[in-house]
Amino acid sequence: MAILVYGSHLGLLLLLTFFVGPLPFLAESAIKKYQFDIQVKNVSRLCNAKPIVTVNGMFPGPTIYVREGDRVLINVTNNAQYNMSIHWHGLKQQRNGWADGPAYITQCPIKTGNSYTYDITVTGQRGTLWWHAHILWLRATVYGAFVIMPKLGTPFPFPQPNLEANIVLGEWWNSDVETIVNQANKLGLPPQTSDAHTINGKPGPLFPCSDKHTYALEVESGKTYLLRIINAALNDELFFAIAGHSLTVVEIDAVYTKPFTTTAILIAPGQTTNVLVKADQAPGRYFMAARPFMDAPIPVDNKTVTAILQYKGIPTTILPSLPTLPLPNDTNFALSYNNKLRSLNTPLFPTNVPIKIDRHLFYTIGLGANPCASCLNGTQLTASLNNITFVMPKTGLLQAHYFNIPGVFTADFPDRPAVPFNYTGVPLTANLATTLGTRLSKLAFNSTVELVLQDTNMLTVESHPFHLHGYNFFVVGTGIGNFDPKNDPLKYNLIDPPERNTVGVPTGGWAAIRFRADNPGVWFMHCHLELHTMWGLKMAFVVENGKSAEESILPPPADLPPC
């Protein structure tokens, strides 16, 4: 028997879960239905009101609550002036790229006045993921949490929290984001940085006109809280901390980790981190705060967003204390923090790292500049992988692959750069031109892949959070400087490496990831800094079908948006 849950109200979900939980004759998995109405709404922040694109008039949008094994149907109706597509970030979408959501990769966008139902079965995943618009810069306001509870009767592999809360970190621009981006593109320059960061859509009292736009979490002494932290910011890695309270990390990107306690976390755009917080301090009011990490000479919105951890019964007139966050350029904290992340690797939650590798890939990450007659300096800033700037097609790549439509893409993305060089040496400012193309890399079904992502000093080094759609991967190694193919693999962690869907490639360094290509389809891989994605720092894998129908792409749904 399936349980239908409409809308996004947690109380209804919890009520249903509580009500049906003890009844043994009910099937464990359910069908959950959500309606997402894309609509424009006036929202006021920082003394400014402006129209923004929302889901159901909410900013951030509604949280999706499901259990592992559930099927969820999300009908998206587009009433905004922009084309729309929604990506379910971190959902593996086994054989079902049609529900993945990146515009012109797995679908054409939902045009104004049209609808599309994303049909997702949540298999083998539990934890915190999220969803966001995956077209233009619309994810500036179109985003929300996607929470997967364990199957009924399955506890967390850590102390059970008394309560939980979502902490969604974002960015806010006072002006219309699409206008800002279009103006910057005409000039060939980066758009201005955001005017504020937000926690659950609110910038907090350190910003003007923002006392009323402050998120507060009420806690009771002695209780333990699970915070589901999501970095939905477009362009900033963020430190997050709570004054006076330690954070115990128990999950990243919906994968349980060996718990460790820290004063602050580092979270890149696209990543999620679950932490346990115990309300064990003197009852009072404590700031939660986040601000960017940037250890390269790149401008960022370096202001601090705050929310309040409020002990029950404490008057709101008490001034909160601020946490001590790492310095904005604290590379040592960033490297040390990431080195502590380890998968559980228990019999219940094994870490199946591919040991024998079929394909070794090496991709250089570069910034560059191409000629642009209409731009301010005659050049357009750009970005590339293996010196290839990705050109977005006009037809969805998955459709082109599934229906064998010629001329949409080529499957000749190189496994390594054409010309090796000293990737992280002195800044390279000559020969900054890149080649353009819609070039994909073809992977055999069930083959094992190792990909080394190497930052370069083309214009400047910079940290890059890379997200792979359709898969989790194991981060088996990272380092500073140039990857050494002879010695660095000897230091890989093949026992309990962190398993993620988004990895931060360190500034002037490299990250090595491994995965098994067991999900057929076309799967996007890109930097999750929206600026770099826009500049072409992206590519896609074509994972071929296996030998049986169960190892092949599902047919497209009837309501797939046309191009």
The reply to whether omega before 326 is within 30° of 0 (cis) is no
Return the ∠ at Cα 496 (arms to 494 and 502), rounded to 5°.
95
Which residues are CB-contacts of 252 (< 8 A; sequence separation ≥ 6)? 271, 272, 273, 274, 341, 498, 500
Predicted TM-score of the model (pTM): 0.95
Complete edge-to-edge strand list for the sheet that includes strand 359-371? 435-437, 388-390, 379-385, 359-371, 448-455, 509-516, 473-480, 499-500
Of the candidates 8, 155, 135, which has an alpha carbon nearest to the alpha carbon of residue 80?
A: 135
Give the separation between CA 369 and CA 388, rounded to whole angstroms: 12
The alpha carbon of 179 is separated from its chain's Cα centroid by a whole number of angstroms, namely 24
- At 459, which amino acid appears? L
- At 310, which amino acid appears? Q
Per the listing, tokens 């990506």 go with: 87
DSSP SS3 for 549: helix
| DSSP string for 165-209 | EEEEEEEE-SS-HHHHHHHHHHHTSPPPPPSEEEETTB--TTSTT
- At 178, which amino acid appears? E
Of the candidates 188, 206, 178, 200, which has an alpha carbon nearest to the alpha carbon of residue 301?
A: 206
pLDDT in tens, 271-316: 999 999 999 999 999 999 999 999 999 999 999 999 999 999 999 9
Per the listing, tokens 């790149």 go with: 298
Average of per-residue pLDDT across 450-477: 98
User: With DSSP H G I counted as helix, E B as strand and the rest as coil, what are the percentages for the chain, rounded to 5?
Assistant: 10, 40, 50
pLDDT in tens, 163-184: 999 999 999 999 999 999 999 9
pLDDT at 18 over 90: no
Name residue 428's beta-bridge partners. 458
The alpha carbon of 147 is separated from its chain's Cα centroid by a whole number of angstroms, namely 14
Per the listing, tokens 């094992």 go with: 448
Complete edge-to-edge strand list for the sheet that includes strand 272-278? 196-199, 163-172, 224-231, 272-278, 247-252, 255-262
Give the separation between CA 180 and CA 199, rounded to whole angstroms: 23
| H-state helical runs in 488-542 | 530-534
* Other C-beta atoms lying within 10 Å of the C-beta of residue 180: 17
* Cβ proximity of 526 and 538 under 8 Å: yes
Least confident of 50-54, 295-299, 450-454: 295-299
Per the listing, tokens 């359910």 go with: 30
First to last CA, the chain: 37
Pseudo-torsion of CA 24, 123, 151, 168, nearest 10°?
A: -140
For 46, 47, 70, 117, the CA distances from 208, given in Å and listed in that order, are 5, 7, 43, 40
pLDDT in tens, 196-253: 999 999 999 999 999 999 999 999 999 999 999 999 999 999 999 999 999 999 999 9
Which residues are CB-contacts of 366 (< 8 A; sequence separation ≥ 6)? 383, 384, 385, 387, 434, 456, 458
| Predicted pLDDT of residue 28 | 67
Give the separation between CA 418 and CA 262, rounded to whole angstroms: 42
Name residue 78's beta-bridge partners. 38
Per the listing, tokens 């019964």 go with: 313
* 7 band by pLDDT with thresholds 50, 70 and 90: very low
| Predicted pLDDT of residue 12 | 35
Dihedral sign of CA atoms 493, 494, 495, 500 in order: positive
| Predicted pLDDT of residue 14 | 36
pLDDT at 370 over 70: yes
* Cβ proximity of 130 and 144 under 8 Å: yes
* 26 band by pLDDT with thresholds 50, 70 and 90: very low
| Predicted pLDDT of residue 29 | 83
* 327 band by pLDDT with thresholds 50, 70 and 90: very high
Name residue 132's beta-bridge partners. 87, 143
DSSP SS3 for 508: coil
Q: Which residue has the higher pLDDT, 29 or 7?
A: 29
- In order of their start, the domains of the chain are 29-147 (2.60.40.420), 161-338 (2.60.40.420), 357-549 (2.60.40.420)
* 562 band by pLDDT with thresholds 50, 70 and 90: very high
